[in-house]
Structure 1
Amino acid sequence: MGLFDGYNIASSGMGAQRTRINIVSANIANAKTTHTEAGGPYKKQNVVFEELLVNNTKNLNNNLQETNNKNTSAELRGVGVKSIVENDADPIMKYEPSHPDANEEGYVAYPNINPVVEMVDLIEAMRSYEANVATFNTHKNIDSKTLEILKA
């Protein structure tokens, strides 16, 4: 294990969770958006994570055979954002004939976003981010104590 591997893993987790927090925040902010530039209501977005080699830019799926080979040493891994996908859920139709985005029958298509579920997802992402910060700080404290011992 290298000196900075723990920092790299915690940092990759913080970056991935920061992206997740931003996407969930956008979902909450657009929960009532009935018209986007692409047309139609806002579509909920989700973050898909992937496992990454910390010291390599290739992702795990490209190195699956190498990882399954028992002669190769297991490398430390981090987490990254594989993609941001739109949810395919049908919009919620509400009868509001006076709304500017109402269709011919008077129904308005609202995003299928539950703010309570999004808030729970946001709290989970924040807790994961905080866990990565705690890991980073613990690693830093271990390194500081090691340097103090070596000085003595």
Structure 2
Amino acid sequence: MSDFSDALSLSSSGLRAQTQRLRHVAENIANTDTPGYRRKSVSFDTAMTGDTPGTVEAGRVRLDRSDLVQIFDPGHPMANESGHYDGSNVNLVIEIADAREAQRSYEANLKMFDQARQMSSSLMDLLRR
């Protein structure tokens, strides 16, 4: 039964990590037009807690240090003397690609979780007979 609990633990850690990733992608998309906003990304680390090797957890949130887009709008309240202000460095194409990748990884982990649960249930049914 330990193998089933290990499989459930692995897939649930993947689900939690991808959820965190999707949360940051959604935040990036929501702040695309926010002046001065820097894109956030999250990396995955091997979890050091628990007995199951290979579990993952979301690492520290990192801010994208690429240059902010300079937007010319002399009427904007944040515009400097030259009429420019800092936009965000969020690229919607990258965010959509990240969201799709996180969604597919989430679905794969969910399918693995469901398979392990079904196999565990089937084993319990066999043992009851």
Q: Same fold (TM over 0.5)?
A: yes
Structure 1 stretches of 4+ with a deviation exceeding 6 A read: none
Distance in 2 (alpha carbons) for counterparts of 1:81 and 1:108: 33
Q: How far is the alpha carbon of 1:76 from its aligned partner? A: 2.4
Give secondary structure in 1 for the equivalent of 2:55: strand
| Other-structure match for 1:64 | none
The 5 Å alignment of 1:17-96 reads: 17-34=18-35, 41-53=36-48, 55-56=50-51, 76-96=53-73
Structure 2 unaligned regions, length at least 5: none
Match for 2:81 among 91, 95, 104?
Answer: 104
Residues 1:83 and 1:77: Cα distance change in structure 2 (over 3 Å): same
Q: Distance in 1 between matches of 2:127 and 2:67?
A: 62
Q: Tell me the SS of whatever aligns to 2:113.
A: helix
Matched-pair contact (CA < 8 Å) for 1:54–1:76? no
RMSD: 1.4
Aligned position for 1:6: 7
Paired letter, 2:69 = I
Identity of aligned residues (%): 33
Letter in structure 2 aligned against 1:7: L
- State the 1:54 CA deviation: 5.5
How many residue pairs match? The answer is: 128
CA distance in 2, matches of 1:55, 1:92: 43
Q: TM-score, normalised by structure 2?
A: 0.93
User: TM-score, normalised to structure 1's length?
Assistant: 0.79
